[in-house]
């Protein structure tokens, strides 16, 4: 399976594995960001009912977070390079915590959408800074498993998010989201005392676009866009479809909690698969599972079967960022690009996919049915499996030997 690996590139003064404190801290960052981003999902039927929103309107509300991620991706990349990963992380935590307070103490849809936009922009700083910090402290041949662990933490954030949403539906949004803001304050304090990285150099905007000419980078960005698009689509359609089938907020939260638990458990294993068998092999497996889920989703009617399908299948989409980010990170090492540049690109790619799909999937489903976006996503997944198959001219080049 050596033909599915990337070139490791020159070895620098990297440790074989990052410190446990740094790994745990970056893990906590992604947990917090995704927990607050997904907390709104169990509350989506409430917002749509209270404001008489259509599926398209619900898609705009969900997509506001991703739109903020798009706006913040490039500034986050520049902040990581010019100010350093730690400063970028601290700035991001200020925005995430402030947005959480707004979400907790307002019911106006415009204010909620604006807060989610700010939350997405700030989250881009948290992700770019945290992952660049972690990747820069890890040797290339171990980067897949380390990023897999980080993505496992991210999946844990999707566990906490529905739980926060369920708590908000019971105790009130003010209590739940104020607790979230307090957690951000604790992480800021921890970031100030944690040993920071050395000077990582300035990031210029131009390399972010030049490196897209590399097929490995293009493949990593595409996988990240697709993962974001699938997440955006299901974040809108899944809770509404479950609600129509008779599921309440607790069951909807349970579905996403179970999906997050499965992703948490599988992401480190997927990272090891990237290191041992190649990023492309891992990506093709996830895409095949995703195609099945997308095809079956609009055909199921009973809430129970629908819940089982989503809990088991949604992790395939969220996990696409593991091979995607590994492709990007190791390619950046080979091309001698700053890690902040590739993780800024990763945040941008995910946010573009999620924002576009959140809005368009809701609008298309409203105008037609859930069959159209579901079958379209299934077709894209199948076409991607073919495009990444051995012998395909679109398949990334074999540039890293198996270690």
pLDDT confidence bin for 245, thresholds 50/70/90: confident
**Which pLDDT score, from 0 to 100, does residue 156 have?**
66
Per-residue tokens: 275? 């290191």
Q: CATH for 19-194+202-387?
A: 1.20.1250.20
Mean pLDDT of the chain: 76
How does DSSP classify residue 402?
Answer: -
pLDDT confidence bin for 250, thresholds 50/70/90: confident
Higher local confidence (pLDDT), 106 or 89 = 89
What's the mean pLDDT in 55-68? 75
How does DSSP classify residue 297?
Answer: G
Per-residue tokens: 357? 């799909």
**Which pLDDT score, from 0 to 100, does residue 288 have?**
94
Q: Which helix (H) or strand (E) holds 292?
A: helix 279-296
Asked if 200 contacts 342 with a C-beta cutoff of 8 angstroms, the reply is: no
What's the mean pLDDT in 9-17? 39
**Does 10 have pLDDT greater than 80?**
no
Nearest 5 degrees, angle CA 238-CA 259-CA 270?
130
- All structural domains of the chain with their residue ranges: 19-194+202-387
Cα separation, 64 vs 358, whole angstroms:
9
Q: Which of 64, 61, 56, 124 is nearest to 96 (CA)?
A: 124
The mean-pLDDT minimum among 322-326, 341-345, 349-353 falls in: 341-345
Please spell the DSSP secondary structure of 31-86, one letter per residue: HHHHHHHHTTTTTHHHHHHHTT--HHHHHHHHHHHHHHHHHHHHHHHHHHHHH-HH
pLDDT confidence bin for 286, thresholds 50/70/90: very high
The mean-pLDDT minimum among 84-98, 168-182, 359-373 falls in: 168-182
**Which pLDDT score, from 0 to 100, does residue 91 have?**
92
Q: For the full predicted model, state whether its pTM sits above 0.75.
A: no
The pLDDT tens digits of the residues spanning 317-329 come to: 888 888 888 888 7
Please spell the DSSP secondary structure of 197-221, one letter per residue: P-------HHHHHHGGGSHHHHHHH
The mean-pLDDT minimum among 49-58, 85-94, 247-256, 278-287 falls in: 49-58
**Does 205 have pLDDT greater than 70?**
no
Token pair 């402290």 is found at 137
pLDDT confidence bin for 12, thresholds 50/70/90: very low
The pLDDT tens digits of the residues spanning 92-141 come to: 999 998 988 887 777 677 787 888 899 889 988 888 888 877 776 666 66
**Which pLDDT score, from 0 to 100, does residue 154 have?**
66
Asked if 81 contacts 202 with a C-beta cutoff of 8 angstroms, the reply is: yes
**Which pLDDT score, from 0 to 100, does residue 92 have?**
92
**Which pLDDT score, from 0 to 100, does residue 117 have?**
92
Q: Which of 125, 121, 80, 147 is nearest to 324 (CA)?
A: 147
Higher local confidence (pLDDT), 171 or 242 = 242
**Does 8 have pLDDT greater than 60?**
no
């Amino acid at each position: 399976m050596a033909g599915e690996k990337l070139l490791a590139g020159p070895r620098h003064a990297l440790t074989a594995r990052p410190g446990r404190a740094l790994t745990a801290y970056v893990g906590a960052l992604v947990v917090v960001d995704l927990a607050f981003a997904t907390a709104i999902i169990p509350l989506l039927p409430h917002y749509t009912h209270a404001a008489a929103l259509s599926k398209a309107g619900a898609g705009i509300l969900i997509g506001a977070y991703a739109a903020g991620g798009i706006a913040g991706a490039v500034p986050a990349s520049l902040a990581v390079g010019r100010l350093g990963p730690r400063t970028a992380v601290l700035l991001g935590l200020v925005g995430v915590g402030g947005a959480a307070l707004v979400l907790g103490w307002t019911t106006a849809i415009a204010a909620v959408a604006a807060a989610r936009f700010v939350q997405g922009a700030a989250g881009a700083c948290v992700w770019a800074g945290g992952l660049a910090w972690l990747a820069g402290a890890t040797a290339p041949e171990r980067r897949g498993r380390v990023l897999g662990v980080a993505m496992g933490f991210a999946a844990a954030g999707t566990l906490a998010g529905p739980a926060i949403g369920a708590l908000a539906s019971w105790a009130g949004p003010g209590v739940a989201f104020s607790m979230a803001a307090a957690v951000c304050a604790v992480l800021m304090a921890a970031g100030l005392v944690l040993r920071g990285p050395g000077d990582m150099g300035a990031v210029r905007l131009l390399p972010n676009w030049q490196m897209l000419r590399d097929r490995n980078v293009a493949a990593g960005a595409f996988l990240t866009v697709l993962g974001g698009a699938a997440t955006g689509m299901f974040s809108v359609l899944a809770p509404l479809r479950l609600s129509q089938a008779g599921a309440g907020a607790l069951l909807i939260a349970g579905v996403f909690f179970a999906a997050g638990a499965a992703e948490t458990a599988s992401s480190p294993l997927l990272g090891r698969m990237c290191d041992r068998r190649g990023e492309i092999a891992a990506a093709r497996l996830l895409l095949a599972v995703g195609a099945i889920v997308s095809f079956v989703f609009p055909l199921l009617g009973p809430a129970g079967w629908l819940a089982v399908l989503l809990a088991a299948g949604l992790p395939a989409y969220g996990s696409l960022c593991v091979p995607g980010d590994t492709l990007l990170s190791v390619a950046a090492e080979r091309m001698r690009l700053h890690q902040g540049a590739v993780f800024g690109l990763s945040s941008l790619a995910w946010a573009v996919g999620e924002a576009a799909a959140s809005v368009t999937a809701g609008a298309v489903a409203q105008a037609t049915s859930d069959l159209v976006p579901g079958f379209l996503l299934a077709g894209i997944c199948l076409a991607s499996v073919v495009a990444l198959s051995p012998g395909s001219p679109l398949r990334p080049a074999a540039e890293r030997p198996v270690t």
